[in-house]
């Protein structure tokens, strides 16, 4: 019988949320940290984005994972027969880890780390009903910080799908990889899904869907600030904008003020000129040699690389050089 434990980690107090928001909006250019997209509603919007045909990242990675899981099963078999733990960073709805669980029967413990509390607990309950023998630990935690895991696992495989690493800039991505090594411990692996550089039109469509789902996801951060930080953003007064910035190799997502306006957040006024933007998210794209170098700088070497057709997406198996 599996057990589900919730680790009650205090993620961010209201004060931390408020100070992050005020710091970002008092900067020039204005920014907001993308981790605040993800309350229960934001996680639901992200799932809706994943079902859009133009958001190729989700389905392309999902299609590649059965091959990856089979290869990984052979690879791990040679290395360790004694039981394995998977630790998923930014676990979301847990729709991808099942591929690994089915292909690698030695996995006996699963730790799911995510910042979106309610969504994580509900996804773990669903997984628990499907894998009754698996011990599952949901962990509400900011994955950019190292974590002391409560299991006493022998070999751990980190799992970081969805190209979530693309939401971190290069320095933050290196820091994440360093911290992941601390969390996972010696002799660990990291299986990581990373989006590749490709034609601008494909990227443009992926982040600008015609149904407006990505726009709702983007604006959810304002809705959340209104609700949790006593603010008065008018959502209709901001427009969703996403474009590829070739110089930086990233898709940028912005919320652009459609008029000059003053918004109050917990009593503090924030001025917007017409056309001024809040930079809400980056999604960095990597050619495989670029990502190999980034991983190497953080002490990881690439053991295997799987590429989707037309190099649309890449999954790397990294091994830490302890
Ligand atoms: C792009 S989604 C990917 C979801 C899922 N892994 C997938 O591949 O479909 C990013 C996930 O990471 C979570 N997340 C974002 N920033 C986080 C942070 N700093 N710490 C923990 N979780 C975070 C979000 O709640 C969300 O579930």
For 43-71, the pLDDT digits (tens) are 999 999 999 999 999 999 999 999 999 99
- In angstroms, the CA 54 to CA 205 distance is 6
- In order, the DSSP letters of 142-168 are -TTS----SS--SEEEEEE-TTGGGGS
Higher pLDDT, 81 or 146: 146
State the pLDDT at residue 178. 96
Residue range 262-278: mean pLDDT, rounded = 98
Q: Whose CA is nearest to atom 18 of ligand 1?
A: 142
Using the atom order of ligand 1, give the atom closest to the CA of residue 161. Answer: 8
For the Cβ of 160 lying below 6 angstroms from any atom of ligand 1, the answer is no
Q: Whose CA is nearest to atom 14 of ligand 1?
A: 90
- In angstroms, the CA 78 to CA 87 distance is 20
- Answer for the pair 294, 176: CB distance below 8 angstroms, yes or no: no
Higher pLDDT, 83 or 52: 52
**Per-residue pLDDT for 96 more than 90?**
yes
Domain ranges of the chain: 13-52+200-284, 56-198+285-320
**Per-residue pLDDT for 218 more than 80?**
yes
For the Cβ of 116 lying below 6 angstroms from any atom of ligand 1, the answer is yes
Residue range 87-108: mean pLDDT, rounded = 95
State the pLDDT at residue 9. 47
**Per-residue pLDDT for 196 more than 70?**
yes
Band (pLDDT 50/70/90 cuts) for residue 12 is low
Band (pLDDT 50/70/90 cuts) for residue 294 is very high
- Residues forming beta bridges with residue 302, ordered by sequence position: 318
**Per-residue pLDDT for 258 more than 80?**
yes
56-198+285-320 maps to which CATH number?
3.40.50.150
Residue range 108-115: mean pLDDT, rounded = 95
State the pLDDT at residue 321. 87
Ligand 1 centroid–CA 92 distance in Å is 6
82: helix, strand or coil: coil
For the Cβ of 115 lying below 6 angstroms from any atom of ligand 1, the answer is yes
**Per-residue pLDDT for 7 more than 80?**
no
**Per-residue pLDDT for 10 more than 80?**
no
For the Cβ of 45 lying below 6 angstroms from any atom of ligand 1, the answer is no
State the pLDDT at residue 14. 62
Band (pLDDT 50/70/90 cuts) for residue 206 is very high
- Residues forming beta bridges with residue 157, ordered by sequence position: 86, 189
State the pLDDT at residue 8. 43
Chain-centre distance of CA 103, in angstroms?
Answer: 23
Q: How far is CA 24 from CA 16, 20, 143, 196, 303, in A?
A: 12, 6, 20, 28, 38
The C-alpha torsion from 313 through 63 and 123 to 212, rounded to 10°, is: 60
- Residues forming beta bridges with residue 237, ordered by sequence position: none
State the pLDDT at residue 77. 65
For the Cβ of 220 lying below 6 angstroms from any atom of ligand 1, the answer is no
Q: Express as a percent the part of the chain with pLDDT over 90.
A: 88
């Amino acid at each position: 019988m599996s057990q589900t434990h919730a680790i009650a980690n205090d993620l961010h107090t209201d004060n931390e949320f408020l100070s992050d928001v005020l710091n970002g909006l008092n900067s020039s250019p204005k920014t907001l940290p993308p981790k605040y997209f993800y309350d229960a509603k934001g996680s639901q919007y992200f799932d809706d984005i994943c079902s859009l045909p133009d958001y190729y990242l989700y389905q392309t990675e999902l299609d590649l994972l059965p091959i990856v899981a089979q290869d990984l099963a052979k690879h791990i078999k040679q290395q360790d027969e004694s039981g394995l733990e998977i630790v998923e960073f930014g676990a979301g709805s847990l729709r991808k880890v099942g591929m690994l669980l089915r292909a690698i029967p030695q996995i006996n413990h699963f730790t799911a780390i995510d910042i979106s509390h309610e969504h994580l607990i509900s996804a773990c309950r669903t997984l628990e009903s499907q894998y009754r023998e698996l011990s599952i630990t949901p962990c509400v935690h900011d994955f950019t910080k190292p974590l002391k895991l409560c299991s006493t696992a022998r070999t751990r495989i980190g799992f970081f799908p969805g190209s979530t690493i693309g939401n971190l800039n290069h320095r933050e991505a290196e820091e994440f990889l360093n911290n992941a090594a601390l969390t996972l411990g010696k002799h660990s692996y990291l299986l990581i899904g990373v989006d590749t550089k490709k034609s601008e039109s494909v990227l443009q469509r992926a982040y600008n869907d015609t149904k407006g789902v990505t726009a709702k996801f983007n604006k959810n951060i304002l809705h959340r600030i209104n609700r949790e930080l006593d603010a008065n953003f008018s959502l209709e007064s901001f427009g969703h904008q996403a474009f590829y910035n070739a110089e930086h190799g990233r898709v940028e997502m912005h919320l652009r003020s459609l008029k000059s306006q003053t918004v109050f957040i917990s009593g503090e006024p924030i001025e917007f000129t017409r056309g001024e933007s809040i930079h809400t998210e980056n999604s960095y794209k990597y050619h495989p040699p670029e990502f190999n170098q980034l991983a190497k700088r953080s002490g990881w070497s690439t053991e295997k690389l799987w590429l989707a057709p037309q190099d649309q997406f890449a999954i790397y198996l990294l091994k830490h050089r302890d």
